[in-house]
């Protein structure tokens, strides 16, 4: 005699089991997605993509760096922009290895920084020039400053020196001969109007204009404060043969590194030149 056995009915999955199954499927999908991103990153590195950390001053120079970033990306270079609010920290960060390069300074400023701190930092390629101008809400011409007028200038030796040279060119003061690009207040040999020259941090000068008879302001800070150097300055440096061109700076050991050369090439591109002309209309110019 044969026994007949009824086929067992399939057991229904509980809601908990079904939820676990869907969670497991989702985890597998996420793992596959992560693997795909990782593979893409490896492929990009294999294709030669490099990264450079670039320090700039917030504002106009940051805008320029964003264009540089787009241009560099086409050459396989990813530019990570790090912004600063003043001129003090970018060289310190570069020397410490927190940056690969910075782009905010001219040669007299770097020379002063090297003398003060011993940085092994070099100019690897010019970027822009921002003529420094003198601004006032009280007079329309530099010659109209009254005797004893208060005039604000940057308190760092290089930018302060360039303002003193500008004042000497305009006939307001005389300087001892042979002082070059970095004269100091001690080098003033004649001050017929007895101007009271007040040294302030460069970033603070735009806000100090209402409290002074006039103030000398770097081009980037003037632009960010709403001044148009081509129209509002009562005196301004020459836009041609200007010795204060800014540049990309790097540690000397990295000066010829491919990623640094690509960064310089991106700054010196037609795209950046066109952006400067359209965005700043002569207030900031190419220096290369």
Q: Domain limits of the chain? A: 49-130+245-286, 133-236
CA 90/CA 61 separation, integer angstroms: 13
CA 112/CA 115 separation, integer angstroms: 5
Assigned superfamily of 49-130+245-286? Periplasmic binding protein-like II (3.40.190.10)
CA 125/CA 93 separation, integer angstroms: 19
Cα-based torsion angle of the residue sequence 133, 103, 98, 94 in order, rounded to the nearest 10 degrees: -80
The dotted CATH code for 133-236 is 3.40.190.10
At 248, give phi and psi (nearest 5°). -75, 130
| Residue 268, pLDDT score | 98
The answer to whether the CB of 69 falls within 8 A of the CB of 103 is no
| Residue 16, pLDDT score | 52
CATH topology match: 49-130+245-286 vs 133-236: yes
CA 249/CA 112 separation, integer angstroms: 14
**Which residues pair with residue 82 across a beta bridge?**
55
Rounded to a whole number of angstroms, the distance between the first and last alpha carbons of the chain is: 104
pLDDT in tens, the chain (288 residues): 434 434 444 455 555 555 555 554 545 454 444 444 344 444 444 456 799 999 999 999 999 999 999 999 999 999 999 999 999 999 999 999 999 999 999 999 999 999 999 999 999 999 999 999 999 999 999 999 999 999 999 999 899 999 999 999 999 999 999 999 999 999 999 999 999 999 999 999 999 999 999 999 999 899 899 999 989 999 999 888 899 999 999 999 999 999 999 999 999 999 999 999 999 988 899 999
| Residue 281, pLDDT score | 87
Q: What is the pTM of this model?
A: 0.76
């Amino acid at each position: 005699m044969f026994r007949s056995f009824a086929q067992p009915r399939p057991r229904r999955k509980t809601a908990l089991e079904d939820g676990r199954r869907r969670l497991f499927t989702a985890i597998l999908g996420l793992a596959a997605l992560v693997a795909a991103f990782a593979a893409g990153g490896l492929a990009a590195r294999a294709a030669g993509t490099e990264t450079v950390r670039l320090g700039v001053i917030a504002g106009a120079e940051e805008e320029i760096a964003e264009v540089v970033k787009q241009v560099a990306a086409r050459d396989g270079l990813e530019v990570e922009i790090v912004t600063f609010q003043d001129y003090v920290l970018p060289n310190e960060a570069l020397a410490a290895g927190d940056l690969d390069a910075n782009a905010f300074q001219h040669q007299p400023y770097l020379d002063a920084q090297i003398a003060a701190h011993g940085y092994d930092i070099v100019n690897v390629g010019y970027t822009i020039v921002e003529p420094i101008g003198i601004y006032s809400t009280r007079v329309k011409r530099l010659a109209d400053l009254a005797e004893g007028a208060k005039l604000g200038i940057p308190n760092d030796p290089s930018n302060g020196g360039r303002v003193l040279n500008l004042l000497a060119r305009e006939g307001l003061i005389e300087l001892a001969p042979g002082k070059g690009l970095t004269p100091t207040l001690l080098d003033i040999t004649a001050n017929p109007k007895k101007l009271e020259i007040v040294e302030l941090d460069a970033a603070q000068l735009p806000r100090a204009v209402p409290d002074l008879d006039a103030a000398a302001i770097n081009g980037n800070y003037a632009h960010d404060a709403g001044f148009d150097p081509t129209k509002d300055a009562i005196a301004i440096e020459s836009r041609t043969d200007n010795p204060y061109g800014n540049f990309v700076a790097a540690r000397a050991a990295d000066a010829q590194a491919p990623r640094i050369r690509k960064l310089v090439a991106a700054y010196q591109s037609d795209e950046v030149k066109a952006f400067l002309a359209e965005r700043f209309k002569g207030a900031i110019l190419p220096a290369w």
